[in-house]
Amino acid sequence: MSARDTPTRGPAKPGPYVVAGILIAIAIIMPLIVPLYAFAEPSLWGIPFFYWYQLLWVFIASGLLALAYLIMRKEDRRRREVLRTPGTTASGDSNDKTDGGER
């Protein structure tokens, strides 16, 4: 197997990708649903709800995207570690069969 064909990551688990996708979708979709916040009241320090709600979503979206990034970074590290750990294959199975049983 050439260096080009050598895998750099182990198999992916779908869970972290789904969670990160949901967090990103929330950050994108919620500010697009204008009927949820198309009101002047309640105002905050004289600023109508319409404006401060959108500004609040800037910070919420930043937090959600940071959380999605951390989840994906952890998954990428896990996938890379699978190949670095001796005794494991790309599928994550152990090559060591010391459990005493015949297979």
Amino acid at 84: R
Q: What is the pLDDT of residues 16-32, one digit of tens each?
A: 888 999 999 999 999 88
DSSP conformation class of 77: H
pLDDT of residue 7: 66
Q: What is the pTM of this model?
A: 0.68
Nearest to 53, CA basis, from 64, 41, 62: 41
Pairwise CA distance, residues 28 & 99, whole Å: 50
Q: What is the pLDDT of residues 42-96, one digit of tens each?
A: 877 887 888 888 888 999 999 999 999 999 888 888 878 877 776 655 555 544 4
